[in-house]
Homo-oligomer: A and B are copies of this chain.
Amino acid sequence: MKQPTIREIPGGITAAKGIRAAGVYCGIKKTKPALSPDERLDLALIVSDRPATVAGVTTSNRSKAAPVLLCEQQLKGGRFSAIVANSGNANACTGRQGEQDAVQMRDRLARLLDRPPSEVFVASTGVIGQRLPIAKVLSGVREGVGLLSTEGGEAAARAIMTTDTCSKEAAVSFELDGQPVVIGGIAKGSGMIAPHLATMLCFVGTDAQISASLLRRVLRRTVDRSFNAITVDGCMSTNDTVLLFANGRSDTPPLKAGTPECDVFEEALLRVLSRLARMIVKDGEGATKLIRVEVMGTRTARDATVAAKAIANSSLVKTAFFGEDCNWGRIMSAIGASGIRFDPGLVEISVDQIPVVRKGLGLGTAAERRAAARMRRPELDLTVDLRGGMGRAVILTTDLSEAYVRINAGYRS
């Protein structure tokens, strides 16, 4: 098989065949008169014209929101018809009442679409610990069903935003057996946890034909390399959810595990998820820089991930990047405190390709000044080689600015 080209194309969740979406304002978000109706959308609907297979990954936070618990239950069935997702209220820490509200959202959409409730998914993002205004949400669902269209993906992307400063869409196209296949998705998130407004959400649809069990395996692997490899503030939300559905509308043959075709599909999916994950970091609360932290030379891949996350989550490393100060001692200290085994006397550190540490020793103030100049860039690489093995990991992170504190301290005031 000739290796097919994966092309990035415009659009998001409605890019693939047989998917309609809508975004409406139903009254959950506070109405700010200064905002246009488009800016305060708070309810998204996504519908597959024919039943699809589905796979999902949800937060491992033990304080799971009601829609997450419902979602986990529905995922066992592996069948998908639609998603209803609201922003402005996380429906988390809301007890039995919250569970009933999520079920009502599901049942209302199922009835309006004439699909089984077991194929309808619910997601929420926003304030923790407050009850949903369920009557408003249910009328919003009815209004949204009337607006469903293949052009509605952008409105749906906007309707799931909370502290996000921009909507997040990505799509790719490639050919299988001479037929075009599309994968498209939307995401929200401005921090692994956004302030009070908890949550990262991501919905992806494709017209490929693939079983739910294979979809699960492919999704798990690609999420590990995309959403599980980003951090803004090291906090995991109560609502994180990634849903991927496949409706087979491309008319390509069913994908089989271990075939070149399935590898192409996985590569294309990773492209979409990585682009969406990168958009979330880039839009991180108060972030002025996107930093790609690469750790190599560890004994195992897991050690590399542990070290890269220790660096990416260190408040001292992140404030140094904000201050554009090549303070490599903080990086050495973060790795040392991470718990992994390594020889500090072998460490090499480069900032955006400028070496600043070799054999565990600084290369002098001239090198640090050159590196500091690179730190002014909005996107840069931090490379750490522990020279003790073949382990390697990459984590995307942001700097830590005064604006992060301001956003998170001042949210309710």
A interface with B by C-beta (< 8 Å): 60-64, 90, 92-95, 127-130, 193, 195-196, 198, 233-238, 314-316, 319-320, 322-323, 325, 327-330, 332-337, 340-342, 344-345, 357, 359-362, 400-402, 404-406, 408-413
Contact = CB atoms under 8 A, between A and B. Distances in A.
Contacts of A323: 408-413
B319 A361 contact: no
Given A93-B360, A95-B345, A333 B402 contact: no
B198 A408 contact: no
A333 B406 contact: no
Given A95-B345, A325-B411, A361-B94, A64 B319 contact: no
A204 B254 CA distance: 72
Nearest to A345: B95
Contacts of A333: 61, 63, 92, 128, 193, 198, 235-238
A92 to B, nearest CB: 7
B401 A405 contact: yes
Find the residue from A92, A233, A337, A404 having the highest chain B CB count within 10 A: A337
Nearest to A310: B235
A336 B95 contact: no
Contact of A233 (B130, B237, B316): B316
Contacts of A198: 329, 333
A129 B329 contact: yes
Given A198-B333, A238-B332, A333-B128, A319 B400 contact: no
Contacts of A413: 323, 325
Contacts of A336: 61-64, 236, 238
13 contacts: A62-B342, A93-B329, A93-B362, A130-B362, A193-B333, A233-B316, A236-B333, A238-B332, A319-B409, A322-B409, A323-B408, A323-B411, A327-B411
A93 B361 contact: yes
Contact of A332 (B93, B344, B409): B93
A340 B63 CA distance: 11
Contacts of A95: 345, 359-361
Contact of A316 (B357, B408, B412): B408
Contacts of A60: 337
B325 A409 contact: yes
Contact of A61 (B314, B337, B404, B405): B337
B315 A233 contact: yes
A410 B329 CA distance: 15
B93 A334 contact: no
Contacts of A235: 314-316, 330, 333-334, 337
Contact of A402 (B90, B328, B362, B402): B402
Nearest to A93: B332
> Which 3 A/B pairs are nearest by Cβ-Cβ distance?
A128-B329, A63-B336, A323-B409
A198 B317 CA distance: 13
Nearest to A286: B405
A344 B63 contact: yes
Nearest to A362: B129
Nearest to A194: B316
Given A93-B332, A315-B400, 8 more contacts: A60-B337, A127-B329, A234-B315, A235-B314, A235-B333, A236-B336, A327-B412, A401-B405
A127 to B, nearest CB: 7
Nearest to A334: B235
A325 B411 CA distance: 8
